[in-house]
Structure 1
């Protein structure tokens, strides 16, 4: 062909064939950039819409400022009304009625009974029938524990008691104890048992009697 055979025309065609692919590449790349730009714009719009939705759903938290705290009223404590205490009016001194003094009780000291082979002996107590019966009651009810005898316990226990005219034993106690607790308890137990057999008397007496525990 005369057009193709021309040297200049050949150069033009070659150049045209070379630039056509480049031209398509440029057009395609421009479209691709536009598509990406549109996609990015869509993502940004979606993100903005989501953020806007989240902000609307969040409930606002009212923070109490120090100013609001100060504005709150502080409850005032109730005032306590102190009622005056009425002082009692002192009464006039009334005359004290004198009570008759009770008759002093007689204390009868008994002679010292001894324990010999678990018996009580006395010499002067038999001079009075009343005291003799008390001594006999103590003799018959004497408590001398076997344990104390086996351990060779001996000693003196001074006891005191009150025997009323109603045949009631009162105020039984140990005045002077021995060094053995067992003997002290035995002496009190002896008086308790013997009081069941004490004689009746028209007066009330305080009697103090020493009991000596001795094993021969």
Structure 2
């Protein structure tokens, strides 16, 4: 669907099993990867091996290209289906690094959030920046019903803001959060996330 925007020719013939190599580690994932030939506008990202052997032929696992005023990226294997069937740290790191190619300076970074099972969502309301932390840990993939969600934390949070805020709080409890401000970012610790916590940043007047 996005082959033209990616400057890529994609041919399902001659597809490979998915042997993803990234960041010095490798993992075998379910699904197959088509033959891909990149044009000059596409920047290859990551590596797919033909076999699990480190010396086997390789193809790009993904590509990034300029599109209009922004950029577009895509993986050349069924990343979503593979990860939902077989969550893996290498695949998670690969996708995180690919997203960083598109957005190298994210507004919010939550250390340990992916490993702990915490989704991060940003919103703005009444001039305030809201960083939503949603606890998604638990055996969602293996158990149809479970009675408790284990709390996660502490989590280190870094948030990019234009100036030192007047106040940072954790809602809905209404607890003030101590923070430091340096190099355009506030840094703080959220002690625990039971289900849903919101870090609220109030700008200075």
Answer yes or no: same fold by TM over 0.5. Answer: no
Structure having the larger proportion of residues in strand: 2
Which structure has the larger Rg over C-alpha atoms?
1
Which structure is higher in RCO with an 8 Å CA cutoff and minimum separation 6?
Answer: 1
Structure having the larger proportion of residues in helix: 1
TM-score, normalisation: structure 1: 0.21
